[in-house]
Amino acid sequence: MIVVFEKGYALRHIGHLDLLRTIQRALRRTDLPIRYSNGFNPHIQLSFAAPLSVGVVGLREVMDVPIQGECDEAVFTRELNRALPGCLQVCQSRAVPDDFPTLMALVAGSRIRVEVEGGEAADLVAKAFDRFMSVEECVTLRKTKSGENMTNIRPFVEEAALEAKPDGYTIRCLIRNQKEGSLKPAVLVQALCEMAQVESVSYIAYRDQILARNPSGQLIALEEYAYA
Amino acid sequence: MISQIEKLLERVEKPARYTGNEMNTDVKPIGDAEISFAFCFPDTYEVAMSHLGMKILYHIINALPYAVCERVCMPWSDMLEAMKAEGVPLFSLESRTALNRFDIVGFTLQYEMSYTNILEMLSVGGVPVKAAERGDADPIVVAGGPCASNPEPLHAFIDAFMMGDGEEVIVEVVDLLNDCKKKALPRAERLRLLAGIEGVYVPSLYRAAYNADGTLQSFEPTDPAAPVTVKKRFVRDMDTAAFPDTIPVPYTQIVHDRIMLEIMRGCTRGCRFCQAGMLYRPVRERSLEKLMEMAEKLVGSTGYEEISLSSLSSGDYSCLSALCEQLMEKLSPKRVSISLPSLRIDSVVKDSLAQTQKVKKTSLTFAPEAGTQRLRDVINKGVTQADLLAKLKDAFEGGWNSVKLYFMMGLPTETKEDLEGIAQLAKEAVQTYYSVPKGQRAKGLRVTCSASVFVPKPFTPFQWCAQDTMEAVKRKQMELRGLLSAVRGVTFHWHEPSVSFMEACFAVGDRRMADVLYRAWELGCKLDGWNEHFHFSLWLQAFADCGIDPAFYANRKRDLEELLPWDFIDIGVTKRYLKLEYARALEAQTTRDCRLGCNGCGIERIKGLCKLCE
């Protein structure tokens, strides 16, 4: 079952493994036909499309829940939501055949949003953002599993928009994954701070959507990926 | 706008410690309640959330229609610093209400080395640290738990202590304080009324006087509202005692991240060093039916993948095999595993071993406590070496490869031979493993041998005993390390002697230890239970500043006729019985398990309480 869910503001500090365990426990609280793995340590093998960085709110996260036999999508959503806390809720469930591709292999990018709290530093960062979009290259320190390296992060960012609000700014970007992987909002904000020569800004980052590429090369919401 | 607390969370380690919102914690809005209770655990979130007592009382208070209970934990040092720098008061996990906005602030006292955290939490929470400095508008600060059995080192900071099982007395306390609040009674009057509840000790209503040699001369109430003897409270029937059918499920990993099914309270063994064994008498079992009902409800409401059967001596539970069998049958569709934590080596465990391994193999723990039969008789640990080795053999044959052996050093009457016995026992454990044929045993033997330091505890037959000096402890540790390094496959763990020394000072301390505690906290001591935050030199300075010799508490053998600081509390077991047990210990005479016949410990004075001595 492909499940689209929201990892809310109150849960943004929960790490990926903790989230995994939380959802496994929630599933155990239901009577849904969940499939457990075989072996000495039977567990529910969830697979997530893309782990969310700690600190980021996820509005439409996507995971695959192994089920046994069939289950009505609406029932699945309703029952799982009953077992989940209010800050972690399923938006949509979609039954797919067993040979549906792994979600991770489909991920091509994401839409992210950074809500920057107003202030002097924020104004400077907003200006830096315009500069960022006008350059071809922006090299910054990026930490990955394999260590720290200097990466040009500019190619990750497409279709960016900056919007001024009474209490700050909203930055929206389409992140296109590169061969190096994805771009964390925190790395983007850090790069902007460096450009603006400010130490830090207060912000909350959101991942609004995870994207997949459909056969014609277009980026679409992952959960809408049509499997033929 | 991003709130100030949210901004702090961006800067600290493990922010999920402070964010709450866990499953089963959406209690009623604090504003709707007539009276609010902050359940404070004086240690970090991970430790707090592993504590069963907190979950029970949280559930009981929140079940009262007029009351709300929220949780407050000790922040880690980085968060504390950030909070102090930004002027953010200590807040509850549920509604982020500042500690000083609660009507009642309740601490659970599980461990002596968390006492400085109590002072720090009050201070950061905006509550005057010293009870005498609190006014009518400040919360009433109460405390309970095993360490309340010697409340004196905390007498200056806690308004009222609750002695014994908390299930019933907590409701009476909340009830009474709610009434007082409605009537807007002054603080002094509230405390006097509290002293009238059985099991409640209000330290400000008593006076202690000391002899020239530092020992206690007299201890008596100064107010007619305060009883001369404070009687501990007991839950009579575990089947009807309140128990939560839903408990909070943390997001982050905590120390004991599982359902703790309390199968019974109390222990019949009578180990002479063990405070819990004396405090929690008599044994009260839950029925099989009740336990099955609780287990099913808890699995349904939490989704936990593991249940541990919890008690002081789970192997002694009368229907253990049947319980394991039924739990296994009922819970295997949900793939829930069962673990027995405090397994006794002389319990009938073979059947249950066969049961638990069906689901999962965890490490087995055995606690022989002492290295020779003589010393095991002194402490009344009724097990023999042959028993232990037989049980180990069962475990290795059953496919276990990881065992932990717990010992204590510095026990009364200990000799060099007893220390050598520890190494000998570890060696024989290893040999037992190799005696199981290769194909039958699991690969990769791991024997962990832990030796803690004996700490004299109130209400035990060893309450009069001295702790070894730190020098003696260090010498013994070196010696044992040398002996064990010769045994292949054994890892040796030992405790920092200075921590055990401080534990002893508080465990058997009197009112003057409150001054030392306050001074140490002023000097910056906190989170003392965590190695990286324990600064023994600051504690020594605090003792020096107060003109108090710590050896008076930790290393002094007490006279049997001495008035002890906790003598005014009646925990059920009598002082007469403790003296008798101490005399027997010195003669290496054992006392039978009280299931084999009543030993007259004093519990029999309370009609109908002990099912065994009726």
pLDDT score recorded for residue B347: 46
pLDDT at position B344 over 50: no
Give chain A positions within 8 Å (CB) of B360: 40-41
Cα(B503)–Cα(B497) distance, rounded to whole angstroms? 10
In total, the C-beta contacts within 8 angstroms joining chain A to chain B are 73
pLDDT score recorded for residue B269: 92
Count of CB atoms within 10 A of residue A39's CB?
7
Among B19, B251, B301, the residue with its CB nearest the CB of A29 is B301
- The radius of gyration of chain A's CA atoms, rounded to the nearest angstrom, is 19
**Is B81 touching A (CB cutoff 8 A)?**
no
Among B251, B300, B360, the residue with its CB nearest the CB of A41 is B360
Report residue B151's pLDDT band, with 50, 70 and 90 as the boundaries: very high
Cβ of A202 within 8 Å of Cβ of B7? The answer is yes
Cβ of A14 within 8 Å of Cβ of B305? The answer is no
DSSP string covering B557-568: PPPTTSBPTTTT
Among B1, B300, B361, the residue with its CB nearest the CB of A167 is B1
**How many angstroms away from the CA of B438 is the closest CA of chain A?**
21
Residues of chain A in Cβ contact (below 8 Å) with chain B: 10-11, 13-15, 18-19, 21-22, 24-29, 36, 40-43, 55, 83-87, 117, 167, 202-204
**Residue of B24, B299, B334, B400 for testing the chain A interface, max A β-carbons within 10 Å:** B334
pLDDT score recorded for residue B351: 55
**How many angstroms away from the CA of B91 is the closest CA of chain A?**
16
What count of Cα atoms within 13 Å lies in the side-chain half-sphere of residue B431? 10
Cβ of A117 within 8 Å of Cβ of B2? The answer is yes
**Is B253 touching A (CB cutoff 8 A)?**
yes
Sole residue written with tokens 């601490």: B107
pLDDT at position B450 over 90: yes
**Is B9 touching A (CB cutoff 8 A)?**
yes
Among A13, A14, A85, the residue with its CB nearest the CB of B23 is A85
pLDDT score recorded for residue B343: 55
pLDDT score recorded for residue B441: 87
pLDDT at position A68 over 70: yes
Average pLDDT over residues B458-464: 98
Give chain A positions within 8 Å (CB) of B302: 25, 29
Give chain B positions within 8 Å (CB) of A31: none
CA-based angle B490:B491:B496, to the nearest 5?
145
Sole residue written with tokens 């109390």: B266
B284 CB-contact burial (10 Å; exposed 0-12 / middle 13-18 / buried 19+) = buried
Contact B100, B127 (CB under 8 A): yes
pLDDT at position B359 over 70: no
Cβ of A117 within 8 Å of Cβ of B1? The answer is yes
pLDDT score recorded for residue B352: 53
Percent of chain B with pLDDT over 90: 81
**Is B305 touching A (CB cutoff 8 A)?**
yes
pLDDT score recorded for residue B356: 52
Cα(B103)–Cα(B184) distance, rounded to whole angstroms? 12
Of the candidates B340, B418, B436, B373, the residue with the CA atom closest to the CA atom of residue B590: B373
Cβ of B16 within 8 Å of Cβ of A10? The answer is no
Residues B498-515: pLDDT tens digits?
A: 999 999 999 999 999 999
pLDDT at position A221 over 80: yes
Query: DSSP state, B249?
Result: B
Report residue B345's pLDDT band, with 50, 70 and 90 as the boundaries: very low
Residues A130-185: pLDDT tens digits?
A: 999 999 888 888 877 777 888 899 999 998 999 999 999 999 999 999 888 899 99
Question: How distant is the alpha carbon of residue B476 from its chain centre?
Answer: 27
Report residue B341's pLDDT band, with 50, 70 and 90 as the boundaries: low
Report residue B346's pLDDT band, with 50, 70 and 90 as the boundaries: very low
CA-based angle A116:A120:A122, to the nearest 5?
20
pLDDT at position A209 over 70: yes
Cβ of A25 within 8 Å of Cβ of B335? The answer is no
Query: A-contacting residues of B 346-385, CB under 8 Å?
Result: 360-361
Residues B477-506: pLDDT tens digits?
A: 999 999 999 888 899 999 889 999 999 999
Among A11, A18, A21, the residue with its CB nearest the CB of B21 is A11
pLDDT at position B348 over 80: no
Count each helix (H run) and each strand (E run) in chain B, helices first. Answer: 20, 19
Residues B19-66: pLDDT tens digits?
A: 999 999 977 899 999 999 999 999 999 999 999 999 999 999 999 999
pLDDT at position B350 over 70: no
B433 CB-contact burial (10 Å; exposed 0-12 / middle 13-18 / buried 19+) = buried
State ipTM: 0.90
Among A10, A25, A41, the residue with its CB nearest the CB of B303 is A25
User: Average per-residue pLDDT in chain B?
Assistant: 93
pLDDT at position B140 over 90: yes
Contact B307, B338 (CB under 8 A): yes
Enter the tokens of residue A167: 């209490």
Which residue from B minimizes the CA distance to A13? B16
Give chain B positions within 8 Å (CB) of A42: 335
Average pLDDT over residues B241-249: 93
